[in-house]
Structures are given as C-alpha cells and as structure tokens.
Structure 1
Amino acid sequence: MFFVRTASERDLEKVRALLIETWHATYDTFYGVEKVNELTERWHSLPALKARLARKNAEFLVADDGRQLGGMGYAAMSDTQAKTVVLHQLYVLPKFQRQGVGRDIFAELETCFPDAERMRVEVEPQNLHALTFYRAHGFAEVGETPVDDPSGLPAIALEKPLLG
C-alpha cells in the first residue's frame, strides 16, 4: 500500500529514476528514444527537481510504500493565470498503474491549494491513457498549447474547477 507524502531532497534520485522509466514507457513511441532522453535529461535532472522542490506556492508529492516510490506529482500556482493551479507532473510507474496510486496523488494535490479555483493540465494528444484519466477526474478540454510553446511539444489543455 502506498502512502502519499511530501517529497524531500532524499527522494529526488528515486523520483528521477521513476520519471525516466515512466517517460520512456509513455513517450518513446510518440517521440523516439533520443528525444525522450534529451527531455528527461533537461526536465528531470537533479537540479531541475531540486528547483521544483524549493518553489514557493507549489506541492511536490510522492507515493511511498516504505520500499519504493510508485508515483509522483507536482503542481504549482500559475504565474500567469489568477486562481489557477497547474498540474505539471503526475506519473506512476507502469507496474503500479491502474491501482489507484495516481488517483491518490491527484486527490491530495487537489486539496493543497485552497485559494485556487481551477486546476489546469496539459497532455500529449496521443497519450490516451492520461486523457482518459483526467476526463474521468472532472477535467474538460479548454484548448491546445501554441505552436511556439517553449517545450516544442503538442499538448491539449484541460481544466477542472476546484471546490474551495
């Protein structure tokens, strides 16, 4: 059984390994191994994870069973949209998917931002499992990322109202 808790610096190596594994399992077929390696090196490096851990108005969670991390989630208040929390990451190791780990991390993240009125997430259009998950949790499509988005990756933007 996994327990959701706030991540600490000592978790970051395991979080990085989890992100590398889940990104390859999810995105290799969309972008190829080389692109996924490039993105994980940039976005999931220890300095990048440490910066997220230190960010104000953010929450960095892990699902821990005492032996291993089964998932992670990271959300932060938007710098550009009032009363909006952005769900930047919600990843569960493939062997633990569809067992409620993602649901539990997500449920905890929903409660961490009492001043937020909505939660926003961007999902790769081909990632049908993620789109299904978010729609099942009350998200609706509100648009797409602009072509000149810094990530260079296509994404569908989804939002969900949060009850205070």
Structure 2
Amino acid sequence: MEIRLAEEKDIKDLQKIAERSWHDTYSGIIPDKIQDEFIKRAYSDSFLLKRIQHSFFIVAKLEGKIVGFANFSFKNLHKDVELSAIYLLPEFQRRKIGSALLREGIKQLSPIFHLYVDVEKGNKKALSFYQSHGFRKIKEFDAMCFGHRLQTVKMVLDLEPLEQEDLQF
C-alpha cells in the first residue's frame, strides 16, 4: 500500500470514494437526498482542489487504485488538528487502511497535541474505529445539514504525552 499527498489529478477518484462511502455509511442515518446535496457541495471539483492545496490531504493507493483518503487541518497555533474526513471504499474497509491513514497523518503533522473528529452518533462503525484508536468522547451536540438534524459526537485523541513509537494502531 502507498500513502501519498492527494493531487489535483485524484479529484474524480476522491469524489467516487466520497459518494460510495457516504451512501454505505449513512444509509438509514442521513436521508439520501441530504447525502447527495452534501457530497455535491463538499466534494465539488473546486472545493476539493482548495482542500488539497490548503490542508493535509492524503490518499491510500492499493492494487493500483486510490481506495481511501484522509483530510486533516490545523485548528489553532497550539498544534491542535481536526480530522475532517477519513473515507474508504466499502470493499477496502477492515484492512487496516484507515488505521494507516490516521497513523500517517499524525506522523506527518507531529508534534500534535490533540486530534479532534466529529462523528455522527448513529455511525457505530466510526465510533468504534476511533475508540479503538484511543479517541474519547468530549461532547455531543446537534448540527443542521441542509435541514436535517445531525446528532454529532466530538471526540479527541490526546497526543502530547505520546511518542510516535507509542502509536500501536
């Protein structure tokens, strides 16, 4: 497996991954119409290009194709980072690719003190993934997404006392 920085030429692959993984993940949690509107806006060519150019956006390539991605951005000057997206094609989940993307982001952006992520409360797979990697819940809140109420869990991974060798995932 290869993990590298995302490039403009990857945009179509990133859009396909976002669409497939969103529909697989949020079926029964977020209405399809809301998912489609979010994907259309958040993964448009122009918005993805900005994210690639102005944040830490990495892709995982396996078997000759891009199968997943992760997007990190700095929250403040204190080395707090937000994980805004980590998605894999459904058939490539549970192969430790998500763990590799998470580990690479932490490695490349270190020293990081805290890594934050927002997770839809109904997304049990993601909640389990983050908890198994040491994230803890710090709060729950409601957010609106195109008229649909999301129940969101904010989680954090505290990294300041950890050395890179201590990351066991």
TM-score when normalising by structure 2: 0.87
Query: Would you say 1:82 and 2:78 are equivalent positions?
Result: yes
Once the two structures are TM-superposed, the CA of residue 33 in structure 1 deviates from its matched residue by: 1.2
Task: Quote the Cα distance in structure 2 between the aligned partners of 1:33 and 1:122.
Answer: 20
Matched positions, count:
158
Q: Is the 8 A contact 1:28 1:36 kept in 2?
A: no
Deviations 1:93-127 (A, max 9, x none): 10010011101101101112224201000000000
Alpha-carbon distance change, 134 to 39 in structure 1, aligned in 2, over 3 angstroms: same
Deviations 1:49-107 (A, max 9, x none): 1110111xx3100001252111100001014x833100000011100100111011011
Q: Is the 8 A contact 1:21 1:93 kept in 2?
A: yes
Query: Would you say 1:127 and 2:126 are equivalent positions?
Result: no
Aligned residue for 2:72, secondary structure, equals: strand
1:60 aligned partner: 57
1:73 aligned partner: 70
Q: Which has the higher strand share?
A: 2
- Letter matched to residue 120 of structure 2: E
Q: Is the 8 A contact 2:106 2:112 kept in 1?
A: no
Q: How does 1:1-164 map to 2 (within 5 A)?
A: 2-55=1-54, 58-65=55-62, 67-79=64-76, 82-145=78-141, 147=142, 149=143, 151=145, 153-162=150-159, 163=162
In structure 1, the gaps of 5 or more residues are: none
Task: Quote the Cα distance in structure 1 between the aligned partners of 2:111 and 2:103.
Answer: 16
Task: Quote the Cα distance in structure 2 between the aligned partners of 1:98 and 1:18.
Answer: 16
Aligned residue for 2:50, secondary structure, equals: helix
Query: Which of structure 1's runs of 4+ aligned residues deviate more than 6 A?
Result: none
TM-score when normalising by structure 1: 0.89
Task: Quote the Cα distance in structure 1 between the aligned partners of 2:63 and 2:93.
Answer: 18
